[in-house]
Amino acid sequence: MFEVRHTVPREIKSHYTTVDEDAILVGWRGSHVTGMATEKSDFDLIGIVIPDISHYFDLNGFGSNGKGTREDQDGGWDMVSHEFVKAMKLLRKGNFNLMQLLWLPDGMYIKRTEMGQRLIGFRQLFITKGLVMALMGVAQREIRRATSGVHSAVSSCGYIPKSAYHAILYLQQAIEILTEEVYKPVRSDLTLIKTIRDGDITEEGLMTLYTELDKKAMSLCKSSELPDKADMDLINDLCVMVLREHFHASGRITV
């Protein structure tokens, strides 16, 4: 059985300067979190960064073309870093990769500062219908990809297993959000997901399952009392509080 690594090698960690310097929160993402990683899986990380205060006043910004996101790749390692305010905007839009970061178990964090822990404390703010609809939208794209065969060869089971199991996984998570108001990136039972991955369910069975889960999620969403989106005023207050306290602690501002 493949054993997931939850530590970053020193030579890789030194390459990702944001891990040691500017990040307030860094954790695993993707298959290493869900439990679907294999020997061939990449090592994917995601982080939230508060860069030097100059990035908030000059014209350069943070990341690629100053748009607030930076990606570092080295062999099979891939780390995506989002500047803090950019991350808050993405979370409000239902970015489930960032939501995953806020709901990881303790052992899957690579770095977690005091500010990072405080942000985790506000994660319930982003449990919204918007997050549910984002998951359902990606599930729809994945099931279309799985059954169309456009992007890669369809296996002997009649569909692309990886896209198929992702579609079902996203719908399962959407339903959990609507029924339990929590986000569960780590899966406790992967029996069904692995059955789909191995192609041991027919295409007809896959589509029946997808349709049932999609209808259930849609019905629950219509009756749910979750907010459509996270409260903008609360997010603005959170941004001001975190940035002010972060730079005050570093001695860069005194207000």
The reported pLDDT for the residue numbered 255 is 47
Q: Would you state the CATH architecture of domain 10-122?
A: 2-Layer Sandwich (3.30)
Return the structure tokens found at 213.
Answer: 């889960």
Nearest partner of 243 among 68, 50, 79, 58, judged by Cα: 50
Lowest mean pLDDT among 34-38, 170-174, 212-216: 34-38
Instruction: Write down the domain spans for the chain.
Output: 10-122, 129-223
155: left (phi over 0), alpha (psi -120 to 50) or beta: beta
**How many C-beta atoms lie closer than 10 Å to residue 236's C-beta?**
12
What are the respective helix, strand and coil percentages of the chain, to the nearest 5? Answer: 55, 10, 35
The reported pLDDT for the residue numbered 4 is 41
Nearest partner of 104 among 45, 165, 64, 160, judged by Cα: 45
**Mean pLDDT confidence for 60-82:** 79
